[in-house]
């Protein structure tokens, strides 16, 4: 929210009230993933289950909406299409390119990947995103390839601070 919106609350109010009306009409499931691997970590998800789940959703007629499309629906006050949902992938692990991207392409699904961009202190290579949990991260070449094929990108924090307790400097 920028300052201008607070100076003139009407457009914000109009948007928010439409958004609330929208939430009464229907909700939109968002599936969020991090790293696709078979470890028992809190941010791991089995690539096999991911593939199976996406194939099942596709078979059942589910389609993904891109975040920009959601904004359009909300601004126009239209209900979301039946059986639509959103996929987001946090952090930008290399498994997103190796495991998730081929499945998404196969079933014509979109996703938004929130990248932990920042200084790569551990490696001189600036080709890959800095690792936040020790795993291998996406390269800029992989990011560009996905971008060219309908995958969207957004910004993540540089690491995983506990936001209410984080200092201003991080
Ligand atoms: Zn994250």
Quick one: pLDDT at residue 7? 45
- From ligand 1's centre to the CA of 170, what distance in Å? 15
Q: Tell me: the pLDDT tens digits for 12-32?
A: 445 544 544 554 456 888 899
- From ligand 1's centre to the CA of 134, what distance in Å? 13
- From ligand 1's centre to the CA of 48, what distance in Å? 21
Identify the structural domains of the chain with CATH numbers, from first to last. Answer: 29-165 (3.20.20.370)
Question: Is the four-CA dihedral 86, 31, 159, 117 of positive or negative sign?
Answer: negative
pLDDT higher than 50, residue 64: yes
Identify the band that residue 91 occupies on the pLDDT scale cut at 50, 70 and 90: very high
Cα separation, 96 vs 116, in Å, equals 13
> Per-residue pLDDT averaged across 45-51, rounded?
92
- From ligand 1's centre to the CA of 132, what distance in Å? 9
Alpha-carbon Rg for the chain in angstroms: 18
- From ligand 1's centre to the CA of 90, what distance in Å? 5
Contacts of 95 (CB under 8 A, 6+ apart): 35, 36, 37, 47, 135
According to DSSP, residue 60 is labeled: T
- Other Cβ atoms closer than 10 A to 117: 17
What DSSP element (H or E) covers 68?
Answer: helix 67-76
Identify the band that residue 35 occupies on the pLDDT scale cut at 50, 70 and 90: very high
- From ligand 1's centre to the CA of 22, what distance in Å? 28
- From ligand 1's centre to the CA of 21, what distance in Å? 30
Tokens at residue 38, please?
A: 């078979």
- From ligand 1's centre to the CA of 93, what distance in Å? 10
- From ligand 1's centre to the CA of 34, what distance in Å? 7
- From ligand 1's centre to the CA of 163, what distance in Å? 12
Contacts of 120 (CB under 8 A, 6+ apart): 126, 128, 129, 130
- From ligand 1's centre to the CA of 32, what distance in Å? 10
């Amino acid at each position: 929210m920028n300052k201008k919106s607070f100076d003139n609350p009407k457009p914000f109010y109009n948007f928010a009230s439409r958004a609330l009306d929208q939430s009464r009409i229907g909700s939109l499931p968002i599936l969020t993933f991090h790293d696709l691997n078979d470890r028992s970590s809190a941010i791991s998800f089995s690539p096999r289950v991911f593939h199976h789940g996406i194939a099942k959703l596709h078979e059942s007629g589910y389609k993904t909406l891109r975040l920009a499309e959601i904004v359009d629906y909300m601004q126009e006050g239209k209900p979301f299409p039946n059986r639509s949902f959103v996929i987001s992938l946090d952090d930008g692990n290399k498994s997103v390119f190796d495991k998730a991207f081929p499945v998404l392409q196969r079933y014509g699904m979109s996703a938004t990947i929130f990248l932990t961009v920042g200084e790569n202190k551990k490696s001189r290579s600036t080709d890959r995103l800095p690792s936040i949990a020790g795993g291998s991260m996406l390269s800029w070449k992989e990011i560009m390839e996905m971008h060219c094929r309908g995958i969207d990108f957004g910004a993540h924090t540089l690491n995983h601070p506990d936001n209410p307790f984080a200092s201003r400097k991080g």
